[in-house]
Structure 1
Amino acid sequence: MTDNHNFDVIIIGGSYAGLSAAMALGRSLRNVLIIDSGLPCNRQTPHSHNFITQDGEKPGTIAAKAKAQVLNYNTVKFHTGLAVSGEKIENGFEITTQKGEAFKAKKLIFATGIKDIMPSIKGFSECWGISAIHCPYCHGYEFRNQKTGIMANGEKAFHIASLVNNLTNSVTVLTSGKADFNAEQLAKLNKHNIKVAETEITEIEHENGHIKNVVFSDGNKLDFTAVYAAVPFTQHSDIPVSLGCELTEQGYIRVNNFQKTTLEGVFACGDNTAMMRSVANAVYSGNLTGAMVNKELTDEQF
């Protein structure tokens, strides 16, 4: 049995991916510490979708149920706090929290997610995750047959438009500047009656996060029920990079097919590693990560 500061595995991030990894490890009797700050990126989202058995459930409810089930395994501990630094030590790693608490483990799992960078558009952040949305698979059905905007340009906008076109016949691409489409893309947008508005967006008028109008710099407005937005992101935690983990060109933590990073002994899972940003994918990648970390520990000890 471990003491309160030494573990087989430390998991940083206690949402869907981290809890899923912890369950796999707890079921293998590994001594695990989950460190979580309690601020999941989907905290404004009212309902989670496209995850069988939990379709339409509140994200917080799913996470709370998962946490309760994971902590039934008595080798798994949960620590509320913000991990701020990490270092390689002999036989493992040491993680320090914002309050100066230090914990050691043989292996690390980063399930820290990503941080969305909100555009400087009045009202946008209040709508994010409610009616300003990122994924047709997670949210599109709920806004089917509704007036829909797409805040993006170029290839990203074209891709989202192609998916959303199957959900509603009222789509407008909002480029906030000169549109960046080639002739073939423009022809397809025109074929499907998808409009393009190039005027800069200055504000989103809303009621409790539910979009009413998009306001442009020339004073004109367009009413929408939902707006897809391709916003940039950064890693939620800078510890992986500070330790030496490589990122991909897109800014995700680079992992192999078994969720192992480029740094020996360190794994990552969930939104910080993949473009497929969903609860279902986070749970899957966490489950795989837990199994792979357990295998690595087994190979070293058996």
Structure 2
Amino acid sequence: MMMSKQLLDAVIIGGGPAGLNAALMLGRARKHVAVIDEGKPRNAVTRETHGFLTRDGVSPFEFRRIAKEELGAYPSVTLVEDTAVSIAGEDGNFQIETAQGNLYASKKLLFAVGMKDRPLDIPGLAEVYGKSAFVCPYCDGWELRDEPLVVIVKGADLMHFAPLISGWTNRFTVCTNGPAGLTDDQREELRRHQVPLFESPILNIESNEGIVRQVVLEDGTSIPCRGIFFKPELTTGSDLPQAIGCRLTEDGMVVVDDFGKTTVPGVYSAGDAASRLHQAVAAAAKGAFAAAALNNELNLEAWRQNG
């Protein structure tokens, strides 16, 4: 086993927008930081990242390439392509072991582990995910404006999503893939807005080179469309926050305060793992704020120790 030669100021687990922006802030604050990331981001399925000023339309991998190039200006930041598998210790001296058998010691931790998709259980959805099937209209609605779409969602989530997607197109059909879970008033609301609703389970999604052609239901109905929006089933990108005692919400998100501090001393979290705002620009911002709070804590501890 190889152990780092120094006690790092912080180890960041996860190298997406949150983790990389946190590393940038800490590097500029002259802190010694290691970013541990396996290089398999959830948004790798998408061709473009949107809504991030100066980076609108860039691919997720190009985004990371640019970020890593910029981090190269800060010699106290090290990027490690590996996977953190276990954590021991406490505030001031955490030990992080990786899948490659390396051990890092760090005063603080910042989890930027994101979320990951549970297996997609609709036949054909995996083939179009990230190409013509998406989860966020703010990220991908512009490219599908005025196109005929299928929305796969049910219950209260549907009554939130239907008005939202109508800002990009009024040509959408709702497939709930089983009982819709709607009240009579909610059904009437959809009828007033002339939104077709189908509750038959989805048989499969037919596509050509990742572009959806139609959604086929078990009752024989075929719904032609050019795109799909759906609600994914997500889980935290790593079990490590829970393993070291971080409190999680019922949805599996890490509980943090306004500055990314978890319920475990010395441990912070930022990005999709700690927020419902699943956009690259939001994750980067949260990473910056969490890094600033972490840095402030380090500086205050050093100030008191040396006073």
Q: Does 1:22 align with 2:33?
A: no
- Give the deviation of 1:277 after TM superposition: 0.5
Tell me if the contact between 2:259 and 2:290 (Cα under 8 Å) persists in the aligned partners. yes
1:255 Cα deviation (Å)?
0.4
The AA in structure 2 aligned to 1:158 is: M
Q: SS at the partner of 1:26?
A: helix
Instruction: Give, in whole Å, the separation in 1 of the partners of 2:39 and 2:251.
Output: 26
Residues 147, 5 of structure 1: alpha-carbon distance in 2 compared, 3 angstrom cutoff: farther
**How does the TM-score come out when normalised to structure 1?**
0.96
Matched residue type, 2:15: G
Cα 1:90–1:152 change in 2 (3 A) is closer
Partner of 1:61: 62
| 1:187 has 2:188 as partner | yes
Residue 281 of structure 2 is matched in structure 1 by 280
- Matched with 2:85 is 84
1:113 matched residue in structure 2: 114
Deviates more, 1:121-130 or 1:292-301: 121-130
Give the C-alpha shift of residue 112 in structure 1. 0.7
AA matched with 2:162: A
Q: Matched residues in 1 for 2:5 and 2:178: separation?
A: 55
Aligned pair count reads 301
Cross-structure match for 1:211:
212
Q: Which runs of 5+ in 1 are unaligned?
A: none
Distance in 1 (CA, whole Å) between partners of 2:147 and 2:10 is 46
Aligned to 2:37: 36
Displacement of 1:3 after TM fit? 5.4
Matches within 5 A, 1:128-277: 128-277=129-278
Residue-by-residue CA offset, 1:223-278 (whole Å, 9 max, x unaligned): 11111111211111101100000101221110001100111100000110111110
Which one is further off, 184-193 or 6-15? 184-193
Encode CA deviations 1:117-168: one digit per residue, 9 max, x unaligned: 1332222112222211111111111101011111110111111111111211
Moved over 6 A (4+): none
* RMSD between aligned residues: 1.5
SS of residue in 1 equivalent to 2:151: strand
Which residue identity lines up with residue 157 of structure 2 in the other structure?
Answer: K
Deviates more, 1:175-184 or 1:161-170: 175-184
Q: Relative to 1, partners in 2 of residues 1:250 and 1:3: Cα closer, same or farther, differing over 3 Å? A: closer
- The 1:5/1:234 distance shift into structure 2, 3 A limit, reads farther
Alignment check: 8 A CA contact 1:205 1:215 kept:
yes
> Per-residue deviation at 1:285?
0.4
Gaps of 5+ in 2: none
Cα distance in 1, alignment partners of residues 114 and 129 from structure 2: 16
Cα distance in 1 between the residues matched to 2:243 and 2:91: 17
Partner SS state of residue 42, structure 1: helix
Write the deviation string for residues 153-198 of structure 1: whole angstroms up to 9, x where unpaired: 0111111111111211111111111221123322221121111111
1:90 Cα deviation after fit: 7.2
Instruction: Give the secondary-structure state (helix, strand or coil) at the position aligned to 1:103.
Output: strand
Worse overlay, 153-162 or 182-191 = 182-191
Moved more, 6-15 or 200-209: 200-209
Maintained 8 Å contact 2:114/2:236:
yes
CA separation of 1:188/1:220 partners in 2, compared to 1, >3 Å: closer, same or farther? closer
| CA distance in 2: counterparts of 1:146 and 1:118, whole angstroms | 27
Q: TM-score, normalised by structure 2?
A: 0.94
Paired with 1:221 and 1:9, the residues of 2 have a C-alpha distance of 53
